């Protein structure tokens, strides 16, 4: 491509039927039928689902493995990724990445993915990357704390899953220059909550994402992720 490639990186969190008690987190929850409609729409439209490695290759080589690509990312490592999202993804042979809060996994928090579940899903094209150890606001943490949050999460994932971690999703999209400087030493890609299509011109450690809301329709999604790659 002549211009820097644009890649839609979708940002999901939870996929389940929302309980009224979850109203404060409503914007983070997508209903299963809506989620399936979105995946089906992308498959029908001919989208290729990227892995973190393929995304890095695309940004750095300014080339795409298919004319239409999308990178599905999920933050937080919620258990419903395994119980609800994963069967749908598998059904459509779609790949996705979940950014894991490793401290929650280590403690065995209810409602979070387990190492066993992640290993099972990895065998079917799912990837697991870093969302720090404790999900802090990195922008207000000192350098030493940030370093532990960024590096210990990699160590945990690479050790437990025998995988390579190249991506950090900043908790709540909060980061500062110190975060970027530290991330540069250990990661290849950084995911923000800044809205829009991702491009290397924005910096590989500060990539935009497209936030998926409960109200996002499959038709609306397709128009939102359409790129103008030349």
Question: Using one digit for the tens of pLDDT, what is the confidence trace for 121-163?
Answer: 999 999 999 999 999 999 999 999 999 999 999 999 999 999 9
Rounded to whole angstroms, how far apart are CA atoms 126 and 107?
22
As to burial, measured by CB atoms within 10 angstroms (0-12 exposed, 13-18 middle, 19+ buried), residue 228 is exposed
Rounded to whole angstroms, how far apart are CA atoms 64 and 47?
12
pTM across the whole model:
0.97
* DSSP assigned state of 5: P
51 neighbors 166 (Cβ within 8 angstroms): no
pLDDT at 230: 86
Rounded to whole angstroms, how far apart are CA atoms 32 and 18?
10
Q: Where are the domains of the chain?
A: 6-225
CATH superfamily label, 6-225: Glycoside hydrolase/deacetylase (3.20.20.370)
């Amino acid at each position: 491509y002549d211009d820097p490639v644009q890649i839609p990186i979708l940002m999901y969190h939870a996929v389940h039927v929302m309980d009224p008690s979850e109203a404060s987190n409503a914007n983070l929850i997508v209903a299963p039928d809506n989620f399936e409609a979105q995946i089906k729409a992308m498959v029908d439209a001919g989208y290729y689902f990227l892995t973190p490695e393929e995304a890095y290759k695309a940004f750095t080589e300014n080339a795409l493995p298919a004319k239409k690509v999308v990178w599905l990312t999920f933050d937080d490592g919620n258990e419903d990724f395994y119980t609800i999202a994963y069967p749908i993804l598998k059904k459509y042979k779609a790949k996705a990445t979940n950014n894991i809060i490793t401290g929650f996994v280590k403690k065995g928090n209810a409602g979070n993915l387990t190492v066993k579940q992640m290993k099972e899903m990895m065998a079917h094209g799912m990837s697991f990357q870093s969302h720090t150890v404790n999900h802090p606001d990195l922008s207000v943490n000192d350098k030493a704390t940030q370093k532990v949050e960024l590096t210990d999460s990699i160590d945990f994932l690479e050790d437990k899953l025998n995988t390579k971690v190249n991506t950090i999703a900043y908790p709540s999209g909060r980061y500062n220059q110190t975060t970027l400087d530290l991330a540069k030493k250990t990661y290849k890609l950084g995911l923000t909550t800044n809205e829009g299509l991702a491009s290397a011109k924005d910096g590989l450690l500060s990539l935009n994402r497209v936030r998926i809301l409960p109200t996002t329709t499959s038709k609306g999604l397709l128009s939102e992720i359409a790129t103008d790659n030349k």
